[in-house]
């Protein structure tokens, strides 16, 4: 019984935060362990959405509604995290596009998008590099 | 209560989708999963009373962002990523220790939806109580975005503009003679 | 995708609706969910759909890249200009209360102008980024200015 109460209080009521951290861990794992640069950017985007999720979860008020003032409502969710994340999403896609542009240039210069291949090619010099 | 159940189901889907993106090695399939992931995220924002953010995530995540990923895939001609059969311990250790530290930290955060939480005691009360009277705009998100935090938004717009310029500088090719010399080198 | 008749018809039906919705989100953003950022990305999503179905050349005839560059810069200028106007009218930078005789009306005018600037910049930068990527992948030789 005590276990159930503990579970309800510490897991269900924190489930959004747990989920945000699990998603963040998956994103971070993709960034560190995968060598494909496009996959790395996808991992970084997952990490980013985990942060959005955490912020929006913090802004929720139980029994509240969307922060648009209207008659008949008095409880609203916190508008501040919404504003911060709204701008972060659009800025995020713009910077992601910049990262993709860099990847396209890397592909044109090295003919590879795998990080270890690129490092390997960087280490070569002279004729070896020309023969790549 | 029903909100909480929808919320939890969507979160479980979201985690499953993130794991699918992690496991899949076909790049095209990954881009498609990424669009789905963003759509789920938009639904989740809607459940959490953030329609403005849900709008943006739906249009950006499953629209613009997925299309950009597809264009990049076609430009780099990558269809499958290189996978290693060797299990990687070091990233796992780093990630699990980071996650453990964060999970230790979140138990000090107030319960989900608690109106007495510290987040709601700062400026949010002022926005909700006086926002409409001071700006004449009932949508508080717009009021905070454009008026109370106008400087911040100006910075964000300039960042987007700069990122656009950066992409054009990196990939744009309006002058022919520059490329001619590139071809000679190649 | 130019030969796929179902895609063409559906796109032709959807694109005006998406653009109309983007305009609604932009100009009704004070009273309902919406604003410049959302409207900008929805607007650009409509043109990206158009480009995907009808090709880059057709799309660039509809929205020339040169015009997009001007609109993107103009958006930032509208935003900063609103702030500057408030400065000239006797307030602080971006304090819209001084834009009209009544503080609340001034705030409302300022918010509409600022959101317009945001919408212009976001939509045109997204389209510019997409066109730049799309042009990169075309065969060499047909991209003379």
Q: What is the ipTM of this complex?
A: 0.90
Q: Kindly determine whether residue B157 and residue C73, on different chains, have CB atoms separated by under 8 Å.
A: no
Nearest-CB residue to B112 (from A26, A60, A102): A60
Lowest average pLDDT, out of B101-105, B180-184, C24-28, goes to: B180-184
Nearest-CB residue to B147 (from C111, C130, C132): C111
Lowest average pLDDT, out of A16-25, A104-113, C14-23, C136-145, goes to: C136-145
State both tokens at B82: 């290189």
pLDDT band at B182, cuts 50/70/90? low
Query: Is the separation of the CB atoms in B157 and C81 below 8 Å?
Result: no
Nearest-Cα distance to chain A for C104, in Å, is 16
Residue of A nearest to C125 (CA): A94
Task: Using an 8 Å CB-CB cutoff, list chain C residues near B138.
Answer: 30-31
B78 touches chain C (CB under 8 A): no
A2 touches chain B (CB under 8 A): no
SS3 call for A2: helix
pLDDT one-digit tens code per residue, A3-51:
777 766 667 778 889 999 999 999 999 999 988 999 999 999 999 999 9
Residue A36 backbone dihedrals phi, psi, to 5 degrees: -70, 125
The pLDDT score that the predictor gives to residue C139 is 66
Position B52 pLDDT exceeds 70: yes
Q: What is the C-alpha separation between A61 and A63, in angstroms, rounded?
A: 6
Which site among B120, B123, B146, B154 would you substitute to test the A interface, given the most A Cβ atoms closer than 10 Å to its Cβ? B120
B138 touches chain C (CB under 8 A): yes
Who's near A95: CB < 8 A, 6+ residues apart?
Answer: B159, B163
State both tokens at B76: 């780099």
The pLDDT score that the predictor gives to residue B184 is 53
The pLDDT score that the predictor gives to residue C142 is 47
Alpha carbon A69 to chain centroid, angstroms: 31
Who's near B157: CB < 8 A, 6+ residues apart?
Answer: C75, C76, C79, C117, C118, C121, C122
Q: What is the C-alpha separation between C89 and C99, in angstroms, rounded?
A: 7
Nearest-CB residue to B11 (from A16, A80, A89): A16
Residue of C nearest to B179 (CA): C140
Q: Kindly determine whether residue B55 and residue C38, on different chains, have CB atoms separated by under 8 Å.
A: yes
Over range B96-102, report the average pLDDT.
94
Position C1 pLDDT exceeds 80: no
The pLDDT score that the predictor gives to residue C41 is 93
pLDDT one-digit tens code per residue, C35-89:
899 999 999 999 999 999 998 899 989 999 999 999 999 999 999 999 999 999 8
Query: Is the separation of the CB atoms in C100 and B136 below 8 Å?
Result: no
pLDDT one-digit tens code per residue, A92-123:
999 999 999 999 999 988 888 888 888 888 88
pLDDT one-digit tens code per residue, C86-132:
999 888 888 888 888 888 999 999 999 999 999 999 999 999 999 99
> Rounded to two decimals, what is the model's pTM?
0.89
C83-91 own/partner pairs: CB under 8 Å, 24+ apart: C83/B150, C83/B154, C86/C110
Q: Kindly determine whether residue C122 and residue A90, on different chains, have CB atoms separated by under 8 Å.
A: yes
Residue C99: Cβ within 10 Å count = 20
pLDDT band at A63, cuts 50/70/90? confident
Task: Using an 8 Å CB-CB cutoff, list chain B residues near A87.
Answer: 145, 152-153, 156
Q: What is the C-alpha separation between B3 and B21, in angstroms, rounded?
A: 27
Q: What is the C-alpha separation between A82 and A56, in angstroms, rounded?
A: 6
Residue B139 backbone dihedrals phi, psi, to 5 degrees: -75, 105
Q: What is the dihedral of CA C61, C65, C71, C76, to 10 degrees?
A: 160
Nearest-Cα distance to chain B for C121, in Å, is 7
Burial of A5 per CB tally in 10 Å (0-12, 13-18, 19+):
exposed
The pLDDT score that the predictor gives to residue B84 is 72
**Which residues 74-113 in chain C show a CB within 8 A of chain B?**
75-76, 79-80, 83, 93-94, 96, 103-105, 107-108, 110-111
The pLDDT score that the predictor gives to residue A71 is 87
Greater confidence (A72 vs A2) lies with A72
The pLDDT score that the predictor gives to residue C143 is 45
Q: What is the C-alpha separation between A2 and A9, in angstroms, rounded?
A: 11
Give the Å distances, CA to CA, from B176 to B164, C66, C132: 21, 17, 15
Question: Considering only CA atoms, which of A62, A132, C142 is closest in space to residue B1?
Answer: A62
């Amino acid at each position: 019984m005590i276990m159930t109460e503990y579970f309800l209080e510490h897991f269900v009521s924190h489930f959004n935060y747990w989920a945000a951290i699990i998603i963040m861990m998956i994103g971070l794992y993709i960034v560190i362990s995968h060598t494909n640069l496009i996959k790395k950017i996808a991992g970084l985007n997952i990490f980013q959405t985990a942060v959005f999720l955490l912020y929006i979860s913090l802004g929720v008020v139980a029994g509240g509604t969307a922060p648009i003032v209207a008659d008949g409502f008095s409880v609203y969710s916190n508008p501040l995290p919404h504003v911060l994340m709204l701008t972060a999403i659009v800025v995020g896609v713009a910077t992601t596009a910049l990262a993709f542009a860099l990847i396209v240039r890397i592909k044109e210069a090295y003919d590879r998008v795998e990080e270890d291949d690129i490092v390997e090619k960087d280490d070569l010099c002279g004729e070896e590099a020309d023969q790549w | 209560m029903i909100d909480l159940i929808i919320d939890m189901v969507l979160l479980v889907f979201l985690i499953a989708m993130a794991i699918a993106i992690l496991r899949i090695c076909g790049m095209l399939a990954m881009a498609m999963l990424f669009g789905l992931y963003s759509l789920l995220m938009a639904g989740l924002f809607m459940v959490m009373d953030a329609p403005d953010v849900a709008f943006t995530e739906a249009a950006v995540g499953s629209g613009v962002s997925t299309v950009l990923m597809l264009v990049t895939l076609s430009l780099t001609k990558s269809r499958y990523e290189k996978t290693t059969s060797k299990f990687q311990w070091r990233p796992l250790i780093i990630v699990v220790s980071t996650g453990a530290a964060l999970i230790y930290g979140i138990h000090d955060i107030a319960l989900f939806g608690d109106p007495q939480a510290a987040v709601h005691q700062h400026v949010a009360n002022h926005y909700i109580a006086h926002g409409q009277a001071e700006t004449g705009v009932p949508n508080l998100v717009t009021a905070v975005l454009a008026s109370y935090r106008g400087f911040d938004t100006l910075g964000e717009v300039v960042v987007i503009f700069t990122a656009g310029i950066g992409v054009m500088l990196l990939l744009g090719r309006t002058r022919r003679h520059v490329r001619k010399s590139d071809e000679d080198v190649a | 995708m130019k030969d796929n008749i179902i895609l063409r018809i559906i796109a032709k039906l959807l694109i005006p609706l998406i653009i109309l919705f983007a305009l609604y989100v932009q100009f009704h953003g004070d009273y309902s969910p919406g604003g410049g950022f959302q409207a900008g990305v929805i607007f650009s999503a409509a043109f990206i759909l158009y480009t995907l179905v009808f090709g880059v050349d057709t799309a660039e005839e509809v929205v020339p890249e040169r015009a997009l560059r001007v609109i993107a810069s103009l958006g930032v200028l509208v935003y900063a200009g609103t702030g500057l106007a408030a400065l000239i009218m006797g307030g602080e930078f971006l304090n819209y209360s001084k834009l009209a005789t009544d503080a609340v009306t001034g705030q409302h005018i300022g918010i509409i102008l600022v959101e317009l600037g945001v919408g212009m910049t976001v939509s045109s930068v997204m389209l510019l980024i997409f066109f730049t990527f799309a042009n990169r992948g075309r065969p060499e030789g047909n991209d003379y200015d």
